[in-house]
Amino acid sequence: MRPDRRRVVITGLGAVTPLGNCVADFWSNVVRGTSGVNPITLFDASKMPTRFAAEVRDFDPASLIGKKDARKMDRFAQFAFVAAEQAVKDSGLQIDDANREAIGVVMGSGIGGIATIEHQHKIMVEQGPDRLSPFLIPMLISNIAPGLISMHFNVRGPTLTTVSACASSNNAIGDAFRTVQYGEADVMICGGSEAPITPLAVGGFCAMRALSSDNEDPQHASRPFDRKRDGFVIGEGGGALVLEELESAQRRGARVYAEIIGYGKSSDAYHMVTPDPQARGVKLAMVRALCDADVAAADIGYINAHATSTDLGDAAETQAVHSVFGEHAKSVPVSSNKSMFGHALGAAGALEGICTVLTLHHGVIPPTINYANADPLCDLDCVPNVARKDDVEVAMSNSFGFGGHNAVLVFRKFSQN
C-alpha cells in the first residue's frame, strides 16, 4: 500500500439474485453449487431460439420499496435500490448531517431501463404519444439507480454511473475504491444492476448467437471452461457493497469483510463483441491490478473469472491467466460463478465481487458447476462442480465487456497490519 493512499475496506453487502434475494441465501446457494437457470417466465419466450434464463424469483418491489415508488422505477433500478438498502443496513452505518456529504454512490448498468423502453414504445405505437408516461425518461436512464439511492439516504458525496457493458459494476467498484482511497469520500455505496430478460434484449442476444440454446437442459446450459460450452445464459439482479475508509470503519467498530487493494482497467481496442484472441487488453488489466495492489501474481490464491461459457471468451481469459501467472496458473483456483446464476451483464461484477469478498471472509471457493468435458484451451483448475475450503489471502475478480472494456479488482483478507 502506497503511503499517500488510504486503506479501503468492505463493511456491507447486499444482493438480489437468481439464487436468493439476500446475501445469506445467495452465498449459501453459491457454495452449494445451485443452478438458478430455468425457463423464462417474465415474458412469452416460446418463439425464441433461447427460452431460458437466470431470473430473480419471488421479488416483490411493492413490499420492499413501497407500491407508489416502485411503480416509478424500472426493474433494474429496483434491484439496485434494494441491494443498496441491504448493504447499508448490513454495514451498520448511521447516516446523519455529520457524514452525509462524505458518502457517495457509484452503480453500474450496461443496458439500464430496457423494459421501460419496450413497454412505453408499445404504448406509443398502439395508443399514441400522449399516452406515454411522464416517468419514461427518468425510468430508463442508467444513472437513475445511483440517483435514487443517493436521494433515499440523503447523501451528497460523488454520485455517478458506469456504463461499460459487462465490466460496468467492476468499474463502479473500482471507481468507488479510488474515490475513497484518494479522500474524495469516506464511504461509497457501489455495485451494479441489470434487468435484461425482456423480448428485445433476449432477442438481440439470440440474433448475435451469443446465448446457449440448450433448451432441453437449461440448468446445465451455463458451463464455463467446458469443451461443450455453446454460449452464455442471460441473467439479472443487483449487487451492492459498502466501501469505507479503514479508520472510519474502525472508529465505529464496524465488521470488516475484506479489504480492496487493487484496480486495473484497459481496452482490447480490437472488436465490438469478439475478444482479442491474444487477450492483450485482458492481460494488461490484470497486470495493472496486480501492480496497483502491490502484490505478485504468485500471491493470488483465487481468481473469480469472467468466464461466460462462450467458446472464444473462456479460451482468451485462460490464455491471459497463463501469460500473467506463468507456472502459478497451473495451481491457482479459477472458478466462474456464471455457471450458477448466468451472466447478469452490468451486474455481473458486483455479484461476483460479493462472492470474491465472501471467499476471503469464509475461506470457501465457489465451484464452477456443469463442468464435465475438459478443454485443452481452458486448462485451468476451475474448481469443478464442488466448492473447496481454502484459506485464501488475496483474490482477483475479472470482468470484461463488449466494446473491449476490461476491469480487474484485487481483494485481500482483512488484517489490522
Chain centroid, CA 203 distance in Å: 22
Compute the distance between CA of residue 185 and CA of residue 179 in angstroms, rounded to an integer. 6
- Pick from 142, 91, 151, 92: nearest CA to 113: 142
Task: Report helix, strand or coil for 67.
Answer: helix
Assess whether 291 carries a catalytic annotation. no
| CA nearest neighbour of 272 among 165, 120, 388 | 165
Choose the catalytic residue: 190, 206, 343, 382: 343
Residues 6+ apart with CB under 8 A from 122: none
Query: 121-143: buried (b, 16+ CB within 10 Å) or exposed (e) per residue?
Result: eeeeeeeeeeeeeebbebbbbbb
- Cα-Cα end-to-end distance for the chain: 11
Helix axis angle, 75-91 to 144-153, nearest 10° = 40
d(CA 267, CA 96): 40
Closest C-alpha among 412, 398, 402, 297 to residue 352: 398
Whether residue 361 lies in the annotated active site: no
Residues 6+ apart with CB under 8 A from 24: none
Residue 233, C-beta contacts closer than 8 angstroms, at least 6 positions apart? 37, 52, 53, 54, 211, 212, 218, 221, 222, 309, 338, 342, 343
Distance CA 325, CA 297 (A): 5
343 a catalytic residue: yes
Among residues 190, 206, 306, 378, the one annotated as catalytic is 306
Q: Mind telling me the catalytic residues? A: 166, 306, 343
